[in-house]
């Protein structure tokens, strides 16, 4: 991480941006109660419209035990909010002709040639059959590859991932290339392209980026995305000079109160062996806002273009077969309802706000991270919202993200 830029601040008056100031305060009061009763250690919220910050607020602590408050420059583990950045990296290479979205992943990672699909049995005695469809690049971008996560605890294959050392991390001594070899040896949940399941697909995609570019993922990110966008606080680990800015990581106790967990949290303070394109980054609200502004700007920010506007529009469409939504095509995993929500290339795409029971707009892009972080981009309203906290897992308060939308949109009056 390098020297930070100017301090983040509110750039436009609420009324001038179409917000009601008193209604914005409802958001802070509501989520303030999560801190007051111990459900969250602290949080940071940024709302912008037209690229200008309208609302910036904090509550609670980045380190409860040390009495250190959340501040605008606090660093957070963003976990799966890394995935859209990996998707952008892949699509930058796609624009350069490095691959076709229909290309088999085995073109880059030969171990994925000849994958097998789970049919029945147990983790120790799994019955599998050869896949009839190869895993393709677009399957990785849309989580339709048949891969999974060990922490999901829903399927026999999830159990096999855990037995192989994949739950909330990676087996000791394995780098990203070795992890991909191991994942390729495990059965798929289903034939590629036939269902949606949250998975290590973005990590595999990160390895494709490495091979296609000839650069390690951290180097590609730094040279092609983070550096050009001025995202000086974003990296795969926090250097000692910035350690005091890093929020502690918390887990819920049986009563629902947030309890510090340094065993998990310490991973962000050392260089990782695996550069996880699915969940490895630490970032700040200012940095992630710059990334979101680039997406909202059709692939460009402050005169710098990473992607063409056509590419961003293509990524922002629902790519699930037949225009299906996650509520019917996917295997949702305990977050807010997925009815009316499709999936694009790297993030969720809202197709039907009525079916989803949220006051958002058609075309809203979003995703979140395992430590209860979230972002959404509403192109129709030129709206960006970034909410950062550090409570693992995000399923602890499954409606936190829908409440965030509910409260943001009630404050948008023009």
Please name the residues in contact with 401: beta carbons below 8 A apart, sequence gap of 6 or more: 335, 336, 366, 368, 374, 387
CB–CB of 304/230 below 8 Å? no
CB–CB of 235/10 below 8 Å? no
pLDDT values of the chain reduced to their tens digit, one per residue, 414 residues? 444 457 899 999 999 999 999 999 999 999 999 999 999 999 999 999 999 999 999 999 999 999 999 999 999 999 999 999 999 999 999 999 999 999 999 999 999 999 999 999 999 999 999 999 999 999 999 999 999 999 999 999 999 999 999 999 999 999 999 999 999 999 999 999 999 999 999 999 999 999 999 999 999 999 999 999 999 999 999 999 999 999 999 999 999 899 999 999 999 999 999 999 999 999 999 999 999 999 999 999 999 999 999 999 999 999 999 999 999 998 866 666 789 999 999 999 999 999 999 999 999 999 999 999 999 999 999 999 999 999 999 989 988 999 999 999 999 999
Could you list the beta-strand ranges (E) of 92-191: 116-121, 126-130
CB–CB of 117/173 below 8 Å? no
Domains 15-82+216-411 and 89-213 share a fold: yes
Q: Which fold has domain 15-82+216-411?
A: Beta-lactamase (3.40.710)
Domain ranges in the chain are: 15-82+216-411, 89-213
Reply yes or no on domain 89-213 having CATH 3.40.710.10.
yes
């Amino acid at each position: 991480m390098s020297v930070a830029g100017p301090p983040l601040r509110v750039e436009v008056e609420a009324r001038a941006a179409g917000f009601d100031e008193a209604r914005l305060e409802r958001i802070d009061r509501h989520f303030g109660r999560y801190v007051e009763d111990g459900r969250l250690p602290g949080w940071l919220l940024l709302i912008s419209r037209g690229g200008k910050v309208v609302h910036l607020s904090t509550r609670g602590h980045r380190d409860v035990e040390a009495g250190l408050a959340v501040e605008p420059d606090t660093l957070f583990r963003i976990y799966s909010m890394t995935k859209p950045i990996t998707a952008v990296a892949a699509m930058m290479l796609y624009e350069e002709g490095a691959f076709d979205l229909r290309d088999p992943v085995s073109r880059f990672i030969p171990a994925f040639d000849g994958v097998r699909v789970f049919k029945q049995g147990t983790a120790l005695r799994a019955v599998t059959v050869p896949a009839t469809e190869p895993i393709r690049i677009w399957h990785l971008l849309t989580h339709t590859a048949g891969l999974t996560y060990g922490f999901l605890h829903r399927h026999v294959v999830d159990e096999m991932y855990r037995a192989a050392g994949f739950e909330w991390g990676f087996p000791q001594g394995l780098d990203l290339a070795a992890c991909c070899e191991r994942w390729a040896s495990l059965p798929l949940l289903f034939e590629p392209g036939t269902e949606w399941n949250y998975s290590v697909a973005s990590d595999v995609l990160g390895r494709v980026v490495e091979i296609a570019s000839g650069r390690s993922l951290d180097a590609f990110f730094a040279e092609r995305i983070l550096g050009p966008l001025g995202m000086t606080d974003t990296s795969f680990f926090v250097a000692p000079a910035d350690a005091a800015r890093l929020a502690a990581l918390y887990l819920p106790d049986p009563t629902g109160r947030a309890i510090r967990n340094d065993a998990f949290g310490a991973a962000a303070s050392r260089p990782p062996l695996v550069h996880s394109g699915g969940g490895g980054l630490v970032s700040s609200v200012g940095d992630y806002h710059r990334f979101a502004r680039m997406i909202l700007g059709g692939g460009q920010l402050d005169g710098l273009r990473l992607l063409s506007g056509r590419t961003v529009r293509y990524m922002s469409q629902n790519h699930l077969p037949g225009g299906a939504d996650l509520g019917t095509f996917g295997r949702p995993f305990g977050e807010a309802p997925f009815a009316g929500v499709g999936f694009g290339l790297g993030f969720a795409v809202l197709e039907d706000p009525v079916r989803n029971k949220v006051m958002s707009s058609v075309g809203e892009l979003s995703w979140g991270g395992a430590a209860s972080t979230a972002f959404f981009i509403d192109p129709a309203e030129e709206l960006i919202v970034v909410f950062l906290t550090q409570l693992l897992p995000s399923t602890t308060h499954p409606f936190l993200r829908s409440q965030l939308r509910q409260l943001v949109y009630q404050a948008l009056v023009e």
